[in-house]
A and B are shown apart, each in its own frame.
Chain A
Amino acid sequence: MTTTTVETSAEVSGQSVTDAPRRTVRRRGERGPVATLTSHALLIVASLIAFFPVAWLIFLSLGPDKDDYLRPGRIWHTMTFDNYSFVLQHTSFFSWLKSTLVVTLGTTLIGVLIAATTGYAVSRMRFPGYKKFMWLLLLTQMFPIAVLIVPMYQIMSDLGLIDSYLGLILVNCTTVVPYSAWLLKGYFDTIPFEIDEAGRVDGLSPFGTFLRLVLPLAKPGLAVAAFYNFLTAFGEVAFASTFMLSDDKYTFAVGLQSFISEHDAQRNLMAATAVLIAIPVSVFFYLVQKNLVTGLTSGGTKG
């Protein structure tokens, strides 16, 4: 199952609800005012719970003092954007932004490239070791970070890749590639096999078929895999905290922690930074989330 199939099936069921049994649906679905009110009340409560911590963070980021989170009442009178200008001017915000972008985009790009070739291979071919390979891809997804982080740390320090972008990109790839490969396999499965055959008949090499015919058709699937890689790499905490040592190479996930040390806790600045990080990522998430959800649950149903 892929994005397209799910969407069409949703459309179909949507139609059958609206078109044919309209009257029966309305009668059956008719709810008294009490039931409607209850639904709304429950949803409003849930929405408040979902929204409140984020709103609170935004609110706290406007307070000038680092202990204002204990006295939120004071923020109303002293509300200011000073924290934001301070963060932008006097902290390593922009070098964190740079390292985050390097690591995240690097992981996205490399991850999608590797995953696309793999996804295509496992979608179109049955080669000896196929089952084992798929099983390995699946298994990799449930590795707890504790399994790999110690040996990874040793290997990276042997290779001198600790505290380097490349090291972190490669390590992040271990978590995103297997999943993206599953995802893309599912997508390639929906591209008719006849297209490959036509390409071959017209004299394209196997790689030509892949590059010129299948990849352009798979753009939506590639995009979903890229979104997934991007968001995963962006939110990665464990590896980044362990492998990035120098302050100017911190990604946001590490940099944000550095506001609270044993000696000092600049909570107001931290809140402002958190908001600055959260806004663009959340906007991006909202733009792509529909694709992401259908992709996530429908990896490789077609064996």
Chain B
Amino acid sequence: MNRLLVAYPARLRRKHGDELIATLVEMTDGRPPMSDRTRLVLDGLRERFRPPVRRRPMALLAAVFALLVGGALGAAAGSWLGTLSYAELPATIPVGEKMTHVNVADRYLWAEAAFPSGADAAYAVEQSRRALAADGWRPGPIGSREGVLTNVHFAAEQGGVRLDVYAYPSLGTVTVAGWPTRPASYVPLTIAGTLLGLLAGWLAGVALAHRIQAARRPLRSGVLLTMGLALVAPSAVGFVASLWSYLTVADPLGTGGLVHAQGFAFGPTLDFMRVYDMGEGWYLTPSDFQQLPLYGFAVIALAAILARPRYEYEAVAQ
């Protein structure tokens, strides 16, 4: 019957496990029906969600922070799983009048070709557009922009890959940038990851709050937990903001907008750092935001390890 107690937090199992079973046995003359066993399990699950009652505001604050960090980490895991079914980038694409080998870095491709001799931007773009259509790409309408970097451009898609084709009269070149589009499974996986992360975050936060409160030196672990969360927070906020921007950005996305361009990422994208002038490249880089949470989670783990319970249970009064 002890396996029914698996649903309970370890703290309660240690403290009241034997009594729980003994009381259930006494209440049911030793033969608890299935309904009572089920309720015992459900009550145990409910206990896992309850934050401690002592120093409640601090405990709630820690649990809410853990909930949010868990949600962000779950979103990162879910969206990263979504990127596993990104389409492969092509090795060659037609640029101008001939097939061109593309440069591929991370999840981006890039290619460039000079205008045909004597041609203007409009002609060069039209030529590329025809060539891409002939190669099976679905080109969109041609647009143009005046001013700094005057250009003529269009977008094209094929097999889960998106290309942005720009012809710059001032440079005399056609440049192509491309990246995978979001597969159908991306958003559902991201949502599922977020929900699971929120759940796991709350449960972990509540368990940690209980553990720290019962510790011999709760202040030490409390300070470490705060430090750990502070180290994780910038990456969590940066990632969620970048993910939101990736999911909602109006066309074009731009090279630097994919959230997991170099594999699993938990931090702001390059584009996000540029938009908010976060000193990208000279002050902070995306890899800094990848490392910060590692230190943060290590400090949180240390806080949990050091928070050894004060006693097994309150000494029985003599």
- Is the A/B pair a real complex? no
